[in-house]
Structure 1
Amino acid sequence: MLAESWQLALRAERKSPQTLKAYGEGVRQFLAWCTERDVEPFTRAALNLWVAQLLDGGSAASTARSRQLAVRRFSSWLADEGELAVDPFLGVKAPKLDERIIEPMTEDELRSLLKACQPPKGADPKVALRYRRDEAIVRLMIDAGLRAGEVVALELDDLDLSGGSAIVRRGKGGKGRTVPVGPEAALALDRYLRLRRGHRLADRSALWLGDRGKGFTYDALHKTLRERADAAGIVGFHPHKMRHTWAHRWLSAGGSESGAMAVGGWTRPDMLMRYTKAQASARAADEARTLNLGEL
């Protein structure tokens, strides 16, 4: 019951659906683990042992860190609400993250992904709608660097195709911004919207329509993009790689770091550097060749 009350408090704080899901899953797993072992949950020993078992069981450090954070946030709320006398996890350190380097997708991979989103000739309108929807999503992520959750949350009124822009009402940290929509992305969106008008749920405010009248969720976006990537023969695809790829291509094309931060919704330059570190040396070498510093 207290976990449900905490979820209500998080909704009141306008946490994103992704945050609500991650926090809820972390707390549920921890409490279930404690119940199975008849362990008092709100002790440092229990939390540390649980996290250690997550890591020993093969969970990524980022997953263990996220799960632990959920439990720590829950215990902090319990203390604030007077359900616990003190927060037992105050000062507990998060698991150290390995510094992962994620290679961006190649130009050929991007072209293959877009090709996999082309509807077969003579496709039924419902089938064609799914293909055009996925192409529009991929184009938008390539063009504007949106997070998956930001893409899912878009509504019809957020688009201004004639003006070449879209509004992200609530990005990470609750911050909104306007992002550019280039000609290719605008064309893909227009093709999708024309098919969308014939759908029985066309009056919905949400931009994306799911299959069989279902809402198009965060999980649905991940599923459909993975299916397109599999069809394109792309190995190791994850939708988040789209954002890494966008940031790398921005800088490689000569875009400024400040511009990338503004469009991508980053508030700290170190976050941008994390996304673009894999190809930093290659970009620096290309830049050095244009500087011709050896000419004397």
Structure 2
Amino acid sequence: MTLEEFQTLQDSWALHLRAERKSAQTVKTYTDGLKRFVLWCRQTSTEPDLTRPVVNAFVADLIDEGVEAATARSRQLSLRRFSAWLAEEGELDNDQLLGLKPPKLDSKIVPELSDDQLKELIKACAGKDFWERRDEAIIRLMIETGARAGEVINMEVDDFDLPGGTVIVRRGKGGKGRRSPLGPQTCRAVDRYLRLRRAHRLASTPNMWLGDRGKTLGYSGLYDSLVRRAELAGIPDFHPHVLRHTGAGRWLGKGGSEGGLMAVFGWSRRDMIDRYTRATAERRAVDEARGLNLGDL
């Protein structure tokens, strides 16, 4: 297969993914992986053959370049999914990447924010203008529900039931929807934002979160806004996903059940709890041990 043929089929695959109602972020992740593979093929004068030796060489070079293991894994997954689709469509005789093992992920610990840091982050949104009210509402929402950034920006006004204290994530990761509870302070913050939202030029649009210059809020706008608040709060190395880790740790730290956490945060696998709450697992274990008082004989 030539590079030109590869790129043409890549465009067809993107159409297929959209027809399957994959999220825009999923389509971008997959196509970015293929684009990186095409670039590597050009740089190394390699034919874009989806065989194990070629793909393994591509992934090995990525790791040698110093990319994160998760990124290398994502790039390889893109090629495996693309190869499977080509075989299904009859563009390849067989899927030679079937059963190819992904690169092993590092067990990284993502630090969670302390209660003091959360208070400073919310304090950084103090004020009565549109942007301050919007950012406080988003931060409280993400801490309490563990909503992913992509889920937040896709929310609509009708997804919120403030009198009932709930919000619906209509299309979470994997296309799964869920209903999450909202506490009184989060509901109040959302209500304050909605009252100011009525004066926005896009107030009639269904999108919940609105940005500047007459646009709805996208991922880059959400990221920039929250990072700016974190800088004002003196929180270094902040990423919006830290709020999801923090919310999970707070849930368990306050005695919430693992089953409830999985339902609210949209997880179907138990191991995700360990992955997201590893940073505070030791602290919770110490607190539990003190409560058990096993040395009292």
Aligned to 1:31: 38
Deviation of residue 16 (structure 1)?
A: 1.6
TM-fit CA distance, 1:85: 1.4
Report what 1:105 is aligned to. 113
Query: Secondary structure of 2:113's partner?
Result: coil
Deviations 1:148-189 (Å, cap 9, x if unpaired)? 111111100000011100001011221111101111111111
Runs (4 or more) in structure 1 with deviation over 3 Å come to 293-296
> Which one of the candidate residues 1, 12, 15 is aligned to 2:22?
15
Write the distance in 1 (CA, Å) between the matches of 2:56 and 2:174: 28
1:201: Cα distance to partner? 0.6
Q: Does 1:3 align with 2:10?
A: yes
- Who is 2:68 aligned against? 60
**Which residue does the alignment assign to 2:3?**
none
CA apart distance, 1:219: 2.6
Distance in structure 2 (CA, Å) of the matches to 1:137 and 1:231? 16
Using the TM superposition, name which of 13-22 and 201-210 deviates more. Answer: 13-22
Q: CA deviation at 1:51?
A: 1.2
Q: 1:116 aligns with which of 108, 113, 124?
A: 124
Q: Which amino acid aligns with 2:90?
A: G
2:253 paired with 1:246: no
Aligned equivalent of 1:287? 288
Alignment of 1:72-91 (within 5 A): 72-91=80-99
Q: What is aligned with 1:125?
A: none
Q: Under a length normalisation based on structure 2, what TM-score does the superposition of the two structures give? A: 0.93
1:82-113 C-alpha deviation (Å, 9 max, x unpaired): 11112232222111111111121111111111
Does structure 1 residue 223 correspond to structure 2 residue 209? no
**8 Å CA contact retained: 1:104, 1:242:** yes
Match of 1:45, as an amino acid? Answer: P
**Are residues 1:152 and 2:160 paired?**
no
Report deviation, 1:247: 0.6
User: Is the contact between residue 248 and residue 276 of structure 1 (CA under 8 Å) also seen in structure 2?
Assistant: yes
Question: Once the two structures are superposed, what CA deviation does each residue of 1:104-148 show, in whole Å capped at 9, x if it has no partner?
Answer: 1111111111111223x7xxxxxx212211111000011111111
State the alpha-carbon separation in 2 of the partners of residues 171 and 182 from structure 1: 21
| Partner SS for 1:212 | coil
8 Å contact kept, 2:202–2:215: no
Aligned CA RMSD, in angstroms, stands at: 1.4
Q: Is the 8 A contact 1:76 1:90 kept in 2?
A: yes
Deviation at 1:295, TM superposition (A): 3.6
Residue deviations 1:34-79 (CA, integer Å, cap 9, x gap)? 1333311123232222211211112100011111111111111111
Q: How many residues align?
A: 289
- The CA distance in 2 between the partners of 1:202 and 1:195, in whole Å, is 9
Counterpart of 2:199 in 1: which secondary structure?
A: coil
CA contact (8 A) 1:34 1:46 kept: no
Unaligned 5+ segments in structure 1 are 122-127
Residue 165 of structure 1 corresponds to 166
Corresponding residue SS for 2:213: helix
1:216-236 deviation line (CA, Å, top 9, x unaligned):
122322222112112221112
Contact between 1:154 and 1:206, CA under 8 Å: does it hold in 2? yes
User: Of 94, 109, 114, which residue of structure 1 is paired with 2:102?
Assistant: 94
Give 1:6 shift.
Answer: 0.5
Structure 2 gap segments, 5+ residues each:
1-7
Do 1:143 and 1:246's aligned partners in 2 also have CA atoms closer than 8 Å?
yes
Identity %: 58
Paired amino acid for 1:151? V
The TM-score, its normalising length taken from structure 1, stands at 0.94
SS in 2 for 1:213: coil
Q: Do the aligned partners of 1:168 and 1:179 also contact (CA within 8 Å) in 2?
A: yes
Deviation larger for 196-205 or 10-19: 10-19
